């Protein structure tokens, strides 16, 4: 093979990926026990919490490969205000809220996979740089990292993170 042909093959080969493969992947040791590939990220806000869904296209619908629900403190803050979803704020996911619940909960919903809930969080935070107005079809940029507590559940002691994602709001 001529050197020119070899260079062309080397340049073309990386672009020849699986057309049905995920657009991106979450990282961390959790990827050793499950596929963390996703096609899109969706941010939903429910007033008392917000959820970051990492979704993979499947047929006419989606599998949720990982969902991070972040609960907001419902008790009044010392300054008289209430906690809200806002950009630039770092939410500590293992934090215990005034109602005794952990701030962060991780789940998933993948067809034919019985693993839907994860162990409590040992370390972790989620951060959104910006939060656009809901319903304007704009994206919010964020990042997160999580380490689960040790135990006997399938994800015990594992880590999962993203150094940057864009979520539809």
Mean pLDDT estimate for the chain: 88
**138-159 pLDDT per residue, tens:** 899 999 999 999 999 889 999 9
User: How many Cβ atoms sit within 10 Å of the Cβ of residue 147?
Assistant: 19
Looking at the DSSP bridge assignments, the partners of residue 144 are 126, 162
Kindly report the pTM of this predicted structure: 0.85
In terms of Cβ atoms closer than 10 Å to its own Cβ (0-12, 13-18, 19+), residue 21 is exposed
Domain boundary assignment for the chain: 24-168
Beta-bridged to residue 45, according to DSSP, are: 50
Q: In tens digits, what is the pLDDT along the chain, a chain of 169 residues?
A: 555 444 444 444 444 556 678 999 999 999 999 999 999 999 999 889 999 999 999 988 999 999 999 999 987 777 877 888 889 999 999 999 999 999 999 999 999 999 999 999 999 999 999 988 777 878 999 999 999 999 998 899 999 999 999 999 8
pLDDT value at residue 1: 52
What are the pLDDT digits (tens) for 22-47?
A: 999 999 999 999 999 999 999 999 88
Residues with Cβ within 8 Å of residue 163, at least 6 apart in sequence = 27, 143
Cα dihedral sign, 57-136-103-129: positive
């Amino acid at each position: 093979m001529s050197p020119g042909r070899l260079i062309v093959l080397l340049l073309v080969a990386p672009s020849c990926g699986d057309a049905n493969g995920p657009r991106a992947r979450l990282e961390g040791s959790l990827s050793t026990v499950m596929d963390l590939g996703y096609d899109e990220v969706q941010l939903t806000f429910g007033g008392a919490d917000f959820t970051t869904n990492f979704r993979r296209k499947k047929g006419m619908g989606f599998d949720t490969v990982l969902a991070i629900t972040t609960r907001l403190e419902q008790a009044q803050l010392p300054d008289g205000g209430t906690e809200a979803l806002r950009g630039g704020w770092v939410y500590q996911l293992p934090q215990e809220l005034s109602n005794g619940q952990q701030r962060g909960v991780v789940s998933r919903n993948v067809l034919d996979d019985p693993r839907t809930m994860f162990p409590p969080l040992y370390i972790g935070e989620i951060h959104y740089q910006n939060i656009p107005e809901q319903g304007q079809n704009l994206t919010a940029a964020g990042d997160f990292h999580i380490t689960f507590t040790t135990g006997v559940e399938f994800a015990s002691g594992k880590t999962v993170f993203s150094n940057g994602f864009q979520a539809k709001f």
